[in-house]
Amino acid sequence: LAVALTSLSAPALADEVNIYSYRQPELIQPLLDGFTEKTGIKTNVAYVDKGLVDRLKAEGARSPADIILTVDISRLSNAKEAGVTQSVESETLASNVPENLRDPEGHWFGLTTRARIVYAAQDRVAPGEITTYEDLADPKWKGRICTRSGTHVYTLGLISAMIAHNGVEATETWLEGVKNNLARAPEGNDRAQVKAIWAGECDISLGNTYYMGAMLDDPEQAEWANSVRIEFPTFEDGAGTHVNISGVAMTASAPNREQALSFMEYLASDEAQAIYASKVNEYPVSPSATASERVAGWGDFTADTESLAAIGANRAEALRLVERVDFDGAPGSGG
Ligand code: FE
């Protein structure tokens, strides 16, 4: 009987953690290696570039995934709202991840930040000529701004933050103003906007900080990067520069809960935060970690301390405004 009971008892869980990652392999490999070296826990990664939440919903309780690694507050908020994440309580995560960069209910945690900044033409925009996001709607920039689509999560994040600071009505007026200042209808990614500055199509663009590093590392794009300077706009109410996050969440059905938790805690540890700082051209979240020399060289700034969860809650309203003003339509056309 004893033998039978043993064989019928739950199978021992493998010492591994299964990760669904939107982040690219080369970015996270050093972290996976560091984790396995430290804990002996193996990692299995599936790179999922689209439909991560849909996949988890379809797999339901049978999903092998323990962890979601992704970028942007809207994706993290969507995952929580879709019910595919679970609440995690951890002293390490609470002390290493600032409160405004994690879900108040423990469903997701920021691991790095990226600022949404202005790339300004070195030769056509003076240092300090643009200091606030609100200023992007000033008619002096007419025909001089390039940006990616208003419906992209990076743009929606900034608009959501603008709503948090200035309210819906003022944000709609601002968005109309920005649209009227565009040199061309929104198209392409963040780097394509810098290329347009380099080519003389516009003078300023919106983009994430780490693309400066990505461009400098690319033989063709380095020229684009060298034609611009990073400016860190702030909100007029005194709040700092808008930052978004890359983050981690535990899936609702995680089969390896314990291992998943130690993976999350590792990512917030000093060791992993230092790897992030040196490998990904982003800012570590931990108060005890510092940005790499290269990233710090792009300039000092004060990050907005508004809660990312509160900003994420505005994303549906932000999308509604983008549609109302027809932000992606031809510049100057009515919304
Ligand atoms: Fe990106």
Tokens encoding 25: 């392999």
Confidence at residue 335, expressed as pLDDT on a 0 to 100 scale: 55
Whole-number percent of the chain with pLDDT over 90: 90
How many angstroms is it from 2 CA to the middle of ligand 1?
A: 56
Kindly give the distance from the C-alpha atom of residue 194 to the centroid of ligand 1, in angstroms, as a whole number: 14
CB atoms under 10 Å from CB of 201, counted, come to 15
CA dihedral (304, 307, 309, 313) in degrees, to 10, reads -70
Local structure of 330: helix, strand or coil: coil
Q: How far apart are CA 288 and CA 276, in angstroms?
A: 13
Distance (angstroms) between ligand 1 centre and the Cα of 73 equals 13
Whether pLDDT at 202 is above 80: yes
Alpha-carbon dihedral angle through residues 97, 101, 104, 109, given to the nearest 10 degrees: -60
Instruction: Choose among 108, 119, 86, 89: nearest CA to 246.
Output: 108
The yes-or-no verdict on residue 200 having pLDDT over 60 is yes
DSSP code of residue 302: P
Residue 283 scores a pLDDT above 50: yes
The DSSP call for residue 319 is H
Decide if pLDDT at 26 tops 90: no
How many whole angstroms from 157 Cα to the centroid of ligand 1? 13
Q: How, if at all, do strands 16-21 and 42-47 pair? A: parallel
Distance 71 CA to ligand 1 centre (A): 8
The alpha carbon of 228 and the centre of ligand 1 are apart by a number of angstroms equal to: 18
Task: Quote the Cα angle for 212-215-217, to 5°.
Answer: 110
Query: What pLDDT is attached to residue 13?
Result: 58
Model confidence at 1: pLDDT above 70:
no
The answer on pLDDT for 4 being more than 60 is no
Residue 321, pLDDT > 80, answer yes
Taking only the tens place, the pLDDT of each residue in 204-239 is: 999 999 999 999 999 999 999 999 999 999 999 999
| C-alpha 210 to ligand 1 mean position (Å) | 8
232 alpha carbon – ligand 1 mean position (Å): 17
Find the mean pLDDT for residues 296-300.
96
pLDDT on residue 99: 98
Position 71 confidence tier, pLDDT thresholds 50, 70, 90: very high
Asked if residue 41 has pLDDT above 80, the reply is yes
Least-confidence region, from 3-12, 55-64, 243-252: 3-12
pLDDT for residue 8 is more than 60: no
How far apart CA 210 and CA 282 sit, in angstroms, is 6
Please give the distance, rounded to the nearest whole angstrom, from the Cα atom of residue 208 to the centre of ligand 1: 7
Q: What is the pTM of this model?
A: 0.93
Could you count the other beta carbons within 10 Å of the beta carbon of residue 218? Answer: 13
Please state, rounded to an integer, the average pLDDT across all residues of the chain.
Answer: 94
125 CA → ligand 1 middle, Å: 25
- Taking the C-alpha atoms of residue 204 and residue 258, their distance in angstroms, rounded to an integer, is 47
Contact status, residue 151 vs residue 187, Cβ threshold 8 Å: no
End-to-end CA distance of the chain: 75
Alpha helices in 68-182 (DSSP H): 73-81, 91-96, 153-166, 168-181
pLDDT tens digits, residue range 97-152? 999 999 999 999 999 999 999 999 999 999 999 999 999 999 999 999 999 999 99
The token pair that represents 6 in the structure block:
């043993």
In percent, how much of the chain has pLDDT > 70? 96
Distance 12 CA to ligand 1 centre (A): 39
Q: List CB contacts of 206: < 8 A, sequence separation 6 or more.
A: 116, 117, 118, 119, 136, 145, 147, 148, 154, 155, 158, 190, 193
Q: For residue 334, what pLDDT band results from cuts at 50, 70 and 90? A: low
